[in-house]
Structure 1
């Protein structure tokens, strides 16, 4: 992979691995009388280089890192999340109406998270330039800065208007720290916006009172973050969340949707770096995702899913929930 393909980012055989077709195995319903394909029969293994000649579609890219989780004193293991999620995706029934490509994995070498973020941003920008929908699988939530940076640079090059971040998460991830980590990506995004004289649009649903200090709530307020706590979102009190999504998405030109899987209850999502004692029920999260997709339409330019940690999964349950959410994010509405 050449420097020209990824701007100033340099990828080596250690920092980038091509798609592994062996991960995409599953049932074949050869005796079914109607259409019965599954993801493993539809996915097209590819490389970032080859995506320039591919028809516009969904581009899966794994971001294999938990260096940010380690720096943030969390439970490491999310580095192995991308391939485990692929295995869970493989046997899902196919409902998509677009080509699906597996573009392989980016890897964090040693502790070089900052370099990975730049490489990831360049990959996202490249895929957007080629009219694909990047869907990134982490890895810790440190991947969010590379995701945002790629979309923000692309939007600036295209002279597009406001870019917004919609985060479903128990944490603001606005931590002020000595170095980037899984707790800092959205403060990094805010600082990038300030440096480039861009507005910072950030909404976070599912915030846990127990997991965010007063300093983080104050910083969120200072930055104009729109947020709702986990105990403010429930089946009999959903309207405020729906209205927040409408008000947040309407003025945007481009939306980046990110899910930190620790927004779900630990009973539903045990395999994460920081399990949630309460969290948002899966059925409410899916309802909010669907609503955001309807509101955004073609504004939705980038998706990622973070913090799945197979080391702490129970009977593959977390992997199946993560794959279900990806399916939900991409299926026709």
Structure 2
């Protein structure tokens, strides 16, 4: 069910009402309505996936449905870094009889936003947002090859009877023969051998978390750039559980020996340099387990750099 943006979420410290160089995002945000057909191509869009049904079905810690609004609250108070127009379109919540129906609805809205905007940022919610994002990207790009880049500790290529937060990438791979999958940050201890076997079977490219400690090796940079070059469109998604729980405790499945925010941000900035990346989703932010808004603030600061990149 679509809900228009909640304006009361956008508050922060007021340093000036006239000097734009002292503004924060709550002073510059624009509110949109998906029912209105307007041309705002030079702007970027925000849409929330306020859903954790997929997390529950995957037997994870629920609470991610409140993630989009927690991210907005933290992002609102961050100083603006440019005159980039950002339009908040609100949230989609799960009210359908199945998760798949909600994903279909969200995908339709994603298609709309991709057609209207320079770039679309999707705020989760469980990582089932990635499959919903795919439905929108595919509908907006019929016939084109899609490269899916996921920064994640998990493959999320489980086999299940229906959609969950752990099945998105298997669903994509099994439905689309013009799609390839690259995942960065895989933890050996967080994926069973059967998930590695399926990754090998589907020619999934991956980089282990152990290979991303300290710095990004030039060979990994080349892998990412070659992957982007080989596809028409890039679907980009980040699961916050890839980041070590010392930095990001507010997630559905906290990471042990995870990546640092610096590495993740560096990878994301490199990926977003390509115009082929039309959408980015950030998943699994769970305010129920956050400490001092640490995870929400981390995402807010990442967004500030990534939106204005």
One fold, TM greater than 0.5?
A: yes
269, 281, 286: which one pairs with 1:304? 281
Q: Is 1:274 aligned with 2:253? A: yes
211, 215, 220: which one pairs with 2:190? 211
230, 251, 256: which one pairs with 2:235? 256
211, 222, 244: which one pairs with 1:243? 222
131, 151, 154: which one pairs with 1:145? 131
- Judging changes above 3 Å, is the alpha-carbon distance between structure 1 residues 90 and 236 closer, same or farther for their aligned structure 2 residues? closer
Q: How does 1:57-206 map to 2 (within 5 A)?
A: 57-109=43-95, 112-156=98-142, 159=143, 161-193=144-176, 198-206=177-185
Deviation at 1:72? 0.5
Deviation at 1:328? 2.1
* Unmatched segments (≥5 aa) in structure 2: none
* Partner SS state of residue 302, structure 1: strand
Deviation at 1:265? 0.1
* Partner SS state of residue 103, structure 2: helix
TM-score (normalised: structure 2) = 0.95
Detail structure 1 runs of 4+ shifted over 4 Å in the superposition: 31-34
* Partner SS state of residue 252, structure 2: coil
* Partner SS state of residue 35, structure 1: helix
- In structure 2, C-alpha distance between the alignment counterparts of 1:131 and 1:288, rounded to whole Å: 23
Q: How many residues align?
A: 309
Q: Please name the residue that 1:8 is paired with.
A: none
Deviation at 1:98? 2.5
Report if aligned partners of 1:205, 1:228 keep a CA contact under 8 Å in 2.
yes
* Unmatched segments (≥5 aa) in structure 1: 1-14
Deviation at 1:55? 4.8
- In structure 2, C-alpha distance between the alignment counterparts of 1:140 and 1:122, rounded to whole Å: 18
- In structure 2, C-alpha distance between the alignment counterparts of 1:120 and 1:309, rounded to whole Å: 20
* Partner SS state of residue 38, structure 2: helix
